[in-house]
Chain A
């Protein structure tokens, strides 16, 4: 008797176990989100968002993988055909991934496609359809060291500064004799993105109506490329600016933080960096100076994309909409870390979170341009020729010719 009762009990328990696991196996879905680690604060905020999502949708598990050397890891995952359902996509990678057919078209699945900054949405739009909702972005602005300006008796930069004002202030700083030994008015690297920024201010464009990449190719664009190089390299050749390696820093933002440069042109990633590393620094921001063709700044962004070969597209879009919807953007904004929320409505919240230095970056969103190069554009090759112009070894014309030539 006893034995049979135990057997019955055991059988019932087994059946219950099988039932419950069966139920879980049917309803619970795991989707993978692959990205790269940002600042510790951002990583924490992401885990909090994911936890909130999993609470709202208890049947969906999100496996967050933040990997080092992210682009390469993702590329090899794509090639194998077995890749994550949701992943970050930088603006320079987006075109490549679309060409390779690994990104799902989001136009039918993005809940609130309106409300993103137009320049930002344009980056991730192909043929009028928004593929990936932007995650966050950064704009370039002019950062200045208030103490160095005060000591030299030079007026602070303003939002309506032009190139001439910038140069005049740099000359005044240099002439004042108050800059400490080894400190320069401007930290500016001969990199391609700074060239692009001044190129836009000089009236250059990146794409024509047919979608061809026209940077520095001919006519006004060619002239703008040269004007921009002449202006920036002129600052370097006249000793008004120096590169970060000249200033023994890893990047211009570090030189600025160390106080060896009175001004620099960085994006809002510098906000969190300066607060963490140089909390004592007394600094301010204004919008980028206007060039001969008016205002211009660059925007750098990332988006959440959903994979094309995907067993769980519905759940993936639920997650992406959760992270990039109006509430998602508010969460990015209140976090107040480096990158800005992708929706215009959340700009004010972000400024409140990071303080008044955030205003110049948000203001740039109105006219910023995303410097996206074609997928096989030899950016690195071009980028390392600009240094020659800054040293006076190369003519701006030669580098512009090279940049505008066919691949």
Chain B
């Protein structure tokens, strides 16, 4: 009897719980609903569309309501091409492949320089403006944050003006060093390592850089993905460096604010305890602040990495990928294929490859940051 009664007693309670779960479900979906709609409408669906069109020869112009091009429907907007777009950018030798690998090289260079630099500077700045002894904290916080809230297009235009050959930057350097011959910041494809080598007196002649003879270990002229080894190694161009300076300067503000919030979350007792134990100021920073900020650092690096793999607007405004494609980034290449060369299928394939690259990088970086 007792088990029976317990089940009969449990029944109304279970219904109540079920009713409550249903209610909670409704409430939950209502809360996440708007975000879900935005996410599905503007992210998931476009992502599937991009994946779909990356396997077609669509030019981005032909009206999609004409359907797929077949023998019965010769007016169709696009035909399936299998993976040929991927093969054109990744495996087939030619200009499309060269453009993609040049863009990839530039983007990697950019990420390698920009992400660590902006993270270190942002942490340093946040640490400084978090000090109690600092006067005019509000002013400095606003000043450092200001570039982040200004339109990147406007900043790019101002940089173009500052870095033009007869512009502010060159005039200032010339005032300090009268013998300085002006650098054409915005139109100089020479790689930084190349210039460093030149400065120490090594000037590899152009012919040497073109030799590809594995037997004698002269590999600088060999091509990996239609791009010469030397071009992979010669570093970001002067123009790319200018764009990097701009990007670092604009992003550190946001990163600094994130670090600042995290710094203020570290309880004062931890510092006090460490001070009692005899830590110096440097040790406090090294052994208390930095480890406690690790989750924030992970966030800052991830956001920075994703941002720098997608860099587009500065390139669009300042250089259009020139000079000699040294500022061509993958995101800009996607735009160029889609809207300048009428190759939407190819652009979609490039975008999907970029997505995979970002995904892999983020996973790798997550592993590394977690294990440290």
Contacts and interface: CB of A to CB of B under 8 A. Distances in A.
Contacts of B321: 380-381, 384
Interface in B103-126: none
B314 interface: no
A385 B343 contact: no
A393 interface: yes
A385 B324 contact: yes
Interface string B79-95: 00000000000000011
> Which of A80, A393, A402 has the most C-beta atoms of chain B within 10 angstroms of its own C-beta?
A393
A100 B62 contact: yes
A191 to B, nearest CB: 10
Chain A interface residue number, banded: 35 or more
Given A246-B165, A248-B166, A407-B95, A381 B325 contact: yes
B96 to A, nearest CB: 7
A405 B165 contact: no
A79 B95 contact: no
Interface stretch (B32-40, B182-190, B288-296): B182-190
Interface in A353-407: 375-381, 383-385, 387-388, 393-394, 402, 405-407
B167 interface: yes
> Which of B96, B167, B189, B341 has the most C-beta atoms of chain A within 10 angstroms of its own C-beta?
B341
Contact of B59 (A81, A96, A388): A96
Contact of B64 (A81, A381, A402): A81
A377 B342 CA distance: 9
B60 interface: yes
B242 interface: no
B66 interface: yes
Interface stretch (A70-78, A198-206, A317-325, A344-352): A70-78
A245 B164 contact: yes
A379 B63 contact: no
B343 A376 contact: yes
A163 interface: no
Given A245-B164, A380-B320, A78 B63 contact: yes
A243 B322 CA distance: 15
B184 A246 contact: yes
B152 to A, nearest CB: 17
A384 B339 contact: no
A407 B325 contact: no
B156 interface: no
B65 interface: yes
A80 B63 contact: yes
A377 B61 CA distance: 16
Contact of B165 (A78, A80, A245): A245
Given A80-B64, A81-B66, A384 B320 contact: yes
B187 A245 contact: yes
Interface in B307-363: 319-325, 328, 336, 339-343
B56 interface: no
A379 B62 contact: no
Interface in B1-46: none
Contact of B325 (A79, A81, A385): A385
B75 interface: yes
A109 B64 CA distance: 27
Nearest to B339: A72
Contact of A375 (B166, B187, B328, B342): B342
A407 B190 CA distance: 25
B323 A79 contact: no
Contacts of A100: 59, 61-63, 77, 342
B250 interface: no
Interface string A299-321: 00000000001000000000000
> Which of A72, A96, A378, A394 has the most C-beta atoms of chain B within 10 angstroms of its own C-beta?
A378
A406 B65 CA distance: 33
Interface in A89-116: 96-97, 99-102
A79 B64 contact: yes
A83 interface: yes
A387 B165 contact: no
Given A247-B166, A393-B189, 4 more contacts: A83-B63, A101-B62, A384-B319, A405-B94
27 contacts: A72-B339, A75-B60, A75-B61, A79-B64, A80-B64, A81-B63, A96-B61, A100-B59, A100-B342, A245-B164, A245-B184, A247-B166, A309-B63, A375-B341, A375-B342, A376-B343, A379-B340, A380-B321, A381-B328, A384-B319, A384-B320, A387-B187, A387-B322, A388-B323, A394-B324, A402-B95, A407-B94
Interface of A: 71-72, 75, 78-81, 83, 96-97, 99-102, 182, 243, 245-248, 309, 375-381, 383-385, 387-388, 393-394, 402, 405-407
